Structure 1
Amino acid sequence: MTDITPEVATASASGNAATDSFARKQREVASTSAERVDALVSELLSAAHDTIRRHKVTYAEYDVLKSWLIQVGQDGEWPLFLDVWLEHVVEEVANENREGSKGTIEGPYYVPDAPRLPAEATLPMRESEGGTPFLFQGQVTSVDGAPLAGALVEIWHADNDGFYSQFAPGLPEWNLRGAVVADDQGNFKIHTIEPAPYQIPTDGSCGKLIAAAGWHAWRPAHLHLKVSASDHQLITTQLYFQGGSHVEDDIASAVKPELILAPKPATDGSGNEVTYDFVLDKA
């Protein structure tokens, strides 16, 4: 385990960083009709009303809920809450008609404009970076099999202690983050380290919910990726490790069979390696 800092990573600090990161993103404003807003909100409220009636929710329980909802906002944990417990269903619906590679949730820790790197590259990392060396390589093609020259493979992941740069104190700004530009055949080779499983922050509001419900807070080890190319749809995904802890019971429900890697010992004897190709749908 790497001793990254004398400071302590807290849920509040991580949550507020995730909230700030989300607020900085330029997102398309949904053009939603009043009729659709009415339908969606009315159905959501109706489901909540049915739950209250079916379970005979008391005023004491209601007050706990109200207090908790307020605290989620004060902790800056709304991105964390939504990304852990709701995003996987939004992603499922949004990408149900894709023919190419499977996607999954983005999560709260994406940062745009990571350093551009060549087709074979080592992600930025500390000289003493802990963890097993890992080579992640593959090819980006279109659904018709054509290689996508210059495809962009954005990758980010936690370190050997389960921390993300820019969301935990003491880590270099772009640690284990990069934007790799594939070669003229769409090939890429990324040298990094295997990430660790980690618990989502548990000292804030989401942690209180997890404890109250008797759930666990673990996410399996995973790589985050966004893969894009001209005239093709961007794919956002996460890739997991076969046999890894919590692959079968990810708190974020984001694991899919197609996203599980089976690394083998590297041919040069240093760590592990895996080949995983991406297929992008036409825009």
Structure 2
Amino acid sequence: MTDTSFSAEVTAKAADSGANASAQFRERMAAAAGRSGVVDTARVDHLASKVIKSINDIVLEEKVSYEEYNALKAWLIKVGEDGEWPLFLDVWLEHSVEEVASEHREGSKGTIEGPYYIPDAPDMGWNGTIPMRDDEPGTPLVFQGQVRAVDGRPLSGAKVELWHADDLGFYSQFAPGLPEWNLRGTWSANDDGRFEINTLRPAPYQIPTEGACGQLIAAAGWHAWRPAHLHFKVSAPGYELITTQLYFPGDPHNDDDIASAVKPELMLDPKENPAGEGFVTDYDFVLDPEK
């Protein structure tokens, strides 16, 4: 029987989360094999050559010593041993890749997916409560809105996937002590494209710091904090999927997010819920047609 106590949850280690993230990523890539295009050899040559040249230019310009070079080599090995490549890449590089991928869009803004997405979360209808423990800590939040096309048409049956960390900053399936689908769910928009989600307001959290990424953060004198956020994937047949995160005003790390993922368009406007405890917020998703 799985231990779902909070004491079990707080024993989570960066290496455990990293290994889980790496395993989940490998599974998703294997499942996608044959469905995604193969990168052109000439493109690989061009990009890899530029990366290698850029690193060598830094070595020459900054007069990197053998001590520094060996420290880098040891750290890169540890990133792999800790399974933290998904964390490292998603925190420090993905925001630029996302910007390139979505620069053509007219609809809602996206941002990074991060390393903790799991597909096929439970279906909650159009207005269900996200799966959670009976004693799940946190302030209730009603998140509601509409999915529509850029021309204004509501998108009936659009899929809204939500996942977020719990009040301690941990994600189910990546930390011990959490039920499999805790704070993960899928909603289907009604005939008017509307959805209503009952969840909890998440808390800010630090990315895992016991492993190689934490070593880099400490060595550079950075902080490891991410502002409180909700993760979404929103899709409908014939339209481009949006992957995004939504944030809460007043969070001290909105302006210095370690993952550089916050955008002004992604800020929520929560208000006290007149019909019950906690807060309510409205946010619409606007999808671009597939090209």
* TM-score bracket, shorter-length normalisation: over 0.9
* Per-residue CA distance 1:178-219 (angstroms, 9 max, x = gap): 011110111000000000111000000000000000000000
Q: Partners in 2 of 1:91 and 1:267 — Cα distance?
A: 37
Q: Gaps spanning 5+ residues in structure 1: where?
A: none
Alignment of 1:32-111 (within 5 A): 32-111=39-118
Task: Give the structure 1 partner of residue 17 of structure 2.
Answer: 14
- Matched residue, 1:214: 221
Residue 24 (structure 1) aligned with residue 31 (structure 2): no
The percent of aligned pairs where both chains have the same amino acid is 62
Q: In structure 2, how many angstroms separate the alpha carbons of the residues matched to 1:99 and 1:166?
A: 34
Q: Does 1:5 align with 2:23?
A: no
Could you tell me which amino acid in structure 1 is paired with residue 96 of structure 2? V
Distance 2:276 2:251 in 1: 21
Amino acid aligned to 1:17:
N
Q: Distance in 2 between matches of 1:68 and 1:50?
A: 20
Q: Secondary structure at the residue paired with 2:160?
A: strand
User: What is the DSSP-based 3-state SS (H/G/I as helix, E as strand, rest coil) of the residue aligned with 2:176?
Assistant: coil
Letter in 2 for 1:6: A
3-state SS of the aligned residue for 1:84? helix
TM-score between both structures, scaled by the size of structure 1: 0.98
1:109-124 to structure 2, matched below 5 A, reads: 109-124=116-131
Counterpart of 1:125, as a letter, is M
3-state SS in 1 of match to 2:128: strand
Confirm whether residue 179 of structure 1 aligns to residue 199 of structure 2.
no
TM-superposed CA distance for 1:268, in Å, is 1.2
Cα drift, residue 230 of structure 1: 1.1
Give the RMSD, CA atoms, in angstroms: 1.2
Deviation at residue 119 of structure 1 after TM alignment: 0.6
1:151-178: CA deviations, max 9, x gaps?
0000000011111111111011100100
Q: TM-score if structure 2 supplies the norm length? A: 0.95
Task: Output the CA distance in 1 between the equivalents of 2:253 and 2:110.
Answer: 19
Matched, 1:131 2:138: yes
- Structure 1 residue 29 displacement after superposition: 4.0
2:20 maps to amino acid: A
- Measured against aligned partners, the alpha-carbon deviations of 1:38-85 in whole angstroms (never above 9, x if no partner) come to 110111111101110111000011001011101100100000000000
> CA separation in 2, counterparts of 1:58 and 1:191?
55
* Counterpart AA for 1:5: S
The one-letter code matched in structure 1 to 2:147 is V
1:225 is paired with a residue whose SS is: strand
| Number of the residue aligned with 2:285 | 278
Whether the 8 Å CA contact 1:154–1:226 is kept in 2: the answer is yes
Offset at residue 5 of structure 1 (A): 2.6
Which position in structure 1 is the counterpart of 2:173? 166
Asked whether the 8 Å contact 2:131–2:181 carries over to 1, the reply is yes
Residue 36 of structure 1 deviates from its aligned partner by 1.2
Q: Offset at 1:3?
A: 6.2
Mapped to 2, the partners of 1:74 and 1:161 lie a distance apart of 25
SS at match of 1:192: strand
Q: Aligned to 1:154, what secondary structure does the other structure show?
A: strand
